[in-house]
Structure 1
């Protein structure tokens, strides 16, 4: 999990923002909001809208949870599609 500080163009000018990467993949774009950080865009498992996080740390925890849930769902799906065990 990593954050990269960037400058985001906004309607008012520009402001600090953070790109959030999980396993070197862009997971989210966070913009400052009153009282925290606003999820401007989420990608893949983080594709959600209108979430405000108190801290960048809480945003990181949420991204980790999203990726863990997606991995768990993929594992469960793989188990369900493998079919019955072969008979010998």
Structure 2
């Protein structure tokens, strides 16, 4: 399985607009948002939305995009 990221700007209603769409085999599986300076974990990536097995009741944050991709891939392999 390979993941493909596509940078986008998301209208979150806050200054957190830098985002990545995450695709697996052509399907959108997640939206990751880069957290701005107004957050305790600024610079981290937040799972704004996950679809199918990537959906999570308590969306996690990740130190970087590599960590996020590993987590997403693990969820998709289940």
TM range (shorter): 0.7 to 0.9
Report whether the alignment pairs 1:10 with 2:12. Answer: yes
2-structure distance, mates of 1:28, 1:16: 14
What TM-score, normalized by structure 2, do the two folds share?
0.80
2-structure distance, mates of 1:55, 1:14: 15
| Residue in 1 that maps onto 2:31 | 29
Report whether the alignment pairs 1:44 with 2:52. Answer: yes
Greater radius of gyration (CA)? 1
1-structure distance, mates of 2:72, 2:15: 28
Bigger RCO (CA 8 Å, 6+ sep):
2
Q: Give the Å deviation of 1:12.
A: 2.8
Gaps of 5+ in 1: 70-88
Instruction: Supply the RMSD in Å over aligned alpha carbons.
Output: 1.4
SS of residue matched to 2:68? helix
1-structure distance, mates of 2:12, 2:29: 20
Q: How many aligned residue pairs are there?
A: 69
Q: Following superposition, which runs of at least 4 residues in structure 1 exceed 6 angstroms of deviation?
A: none
What TM-score, normalized by structure 1, do the two folds share?
0.71
Deviation per CA, 1:7-30, whole angstroms, max 9, x where unpaired?
Answer: 111213661110001111111001
Q: Identify, as 1 or 2, the structure richer in helix.
A: 1
